[in-house]
Amino acid sequence: MEKKVDHSCTLDKIISLCKRRGFVYQASEIYGGQAGAWDYGPLGVEFKRNIQNAWWHYMTQLHDDVVGLDSAIFQHHKTWEASGHVAHFSDPMIDCTECNARFRADQLIEDFVHSHPETNPGKPVDTMTHEEMKAFIDANINCPTCGSTNRKYTAVREFNLMFKTYQGPVADESHLIYLRPETCQGIFTDFKSIVQSNRMKIPFGVAQVGKSFRNEIIFKNFIFRTCEFEQMEMEYFCKPGTDDDIFESWRKDRWNFYLKYGIAEKNLQWHHHDKLAHYAKDAYDIQYNFPIGFEEIEGIHNRTDFDLSQHTKVSGKDMNYIDQEDGNKSYTPYVIETSAGLNRNFLAFLCEAYEEQNVGDEGNEDYRTVLHLHPQLAPVTVAVLPLMKKDGLAEKAQEIRAALKEEYVTDYDQSGTVGKRYRRQDEIGTPFCVTVDYDTITKDSPNFDTVTVRFRDSMEQDRVKLSELSGFLHNAIRNYKPVEKK
Ligand code: ATP
């Protein structure tokens, strides 16, 4: 019997496409790979930057009250004492004593419950104590690494996720330095400077994109969980008492960001935190329906006045805000945080865009792999393809490409049939292909000085005057509607 080919999106297919087409490679692959580290290739770096730019545009340009910051990765080590990271930023860890494999106890339970929904701890995992986790694991879960059914595990204990080292040659407490585990603390320590230098009035937000580092116990699922990743965070400072409404309004806003850039609403869901972090009054995650199930891509937190109060306490510097619009009242602002992972956004947008689409006619099967990426996110916006290499078509195509370069990221491809070249562009999500044919260069043709623009999603084609090409593409990007996949 003929084996049925699976045309769904799987993580393995995404990993293979990323490697094959230069989106993402395993870091240090020639040495066997560095665990939890990935390199972004020529297309990946463009795609990642486009997501970052879309976020920045959405958060700062479209919000008059949000400004930007780029703070240092290294902050004074007291920052992390004040923020609570030294004491609290940890995950529960458990080891199998037979093979020494190490697991995150909460994830071990979550993965088990996912495949055995009938056996569950009867309460959310994030509310379980260490003893409850250990008892559940001992009673139910064989070691996923060595398969031992003896269930000989250590106790569950907390493991701090911050990387630490010493600055300079002296390894003592005063030279202790941490790699930041979140970008936002730089925003809090700079709060006063931002208010004073830019005459900011509450409410206002500060946006920042940058690397964060976490010594994760396990890395899983490609770029989903890594030690080094980028966060796109915004801290919105507001008057205490206004925080609940502002929290709700940012929840809506952030949800709409994903819809705007092409995620179908059915693939998003909210997850409410049952157990709150030490700083939070309320917290929700936006989860995306990855091939591995719904998982977090962004957290939205009401951090209260925790961070600014802590920095006042530990630094001795007053971080209060003087509200001139409220009789010069002095108060510590509340903070609503939106914290998205750039790399997880990358993976979510890729999975959402991926389709193996049957484009065969009359009942025939002919599958193309296509990424329906939003044109503002796609690594290449327009590919220019001469029908043939000869007769001046290649030169004309290069000339057209050169004219488009100032405004768009372009590609040029002259090898193989046009059909094959379209497929290559479809696979990397190029929304427009411009084809140069004999009509383009034949003076007495009615189509002289025109090209064919082929649309990735519909595969339809339009004949467009060269003089109007740039504007035509501009409008097509502006009016782009994400496709509904079957
Ligand atoms: P998780 O529960 O998955 O460990 P978290 O709740 O600790 O995530 P936050 O501290 O809220 O995550 O960080 C905000 C965002 O940063 C997350 O929504 C995620 O997109 C991203 N992020 C956090 N940890 C990692 C990681 N190890 N690798 C990649 N992205 C991460």
Q: What is the pLDDT of residues 287-296, one digit of tens each?
A: 999 999 999 9
456, 431 Cβ separation under 8 angstroms? yes
User: Is residue 46's pLDDT more than 80?
Assistant: yes
Q: Which ligand 1 atom is nearest residue 181's CA?
A: 10
Share of the chain above pLDDT 70, in %: 99
Reference 466, options 454, 445, 443, 449; nearest CA is 449
CA 383–ligand 1 middle distance (angstroms):
35
Residues at CB less than 6 angstroms from ligand 1: 182, 214, 216, 225-226, 229, 231, 296-299, 339-341, 343-344
C-alpha of residue 13 to centroid of ligand 1, in Å: 23
pLDDT at position 363: 83
pLDDT recorded at residue 277: 81
- Backbone torsions φ then ψ of 409, nearest 5 degrees: -80, 125
Whether 439 and 396 have beta carbons less than 8 Å apart is answered as no
User: What type of residue is 129?
Assistant: T
pLDDT class of 2 with cuts at 50, 70, 90:
low
d(CA 424, CA 447): 27
Model confidence band, residue 486 (pLDDT cutoffs 50, 70, 90): low
pLDDT band of residue 17 (cuts 50, 70, 90) is very high
Which atom of ligand 1 sits closest to the CA of residue 298? 18
Contact 418, 445 (CB under 8 A): no
Q: Please name the residue whose Cα sits nearest to atom 29 of ligand 1.
A: 225
* Phi, psi dihedral angles at 141 (to 5 degrees): -110, 120
Q: pLDDT over 90 for what percent of the chain?
A: 91
Q: What spacing in Å lies between the alpha carbon of 219 and ligand 1's midpoint? A: 12
Distances in Å between the Cα of 419 and the Cα atoms of 168, 389, 426 are 58, 15, 10
Q: For residues 390 and 442, what is the distance between their CA atoms, to the nearest angstrom?
A: 14
Contact 91, 98 (CB under 8 A): no
- The token pair that represents 140 in the structure block: 């139910």
Which of ligand 1's atoms lies nearest the C-alpha of 91?
A: 4
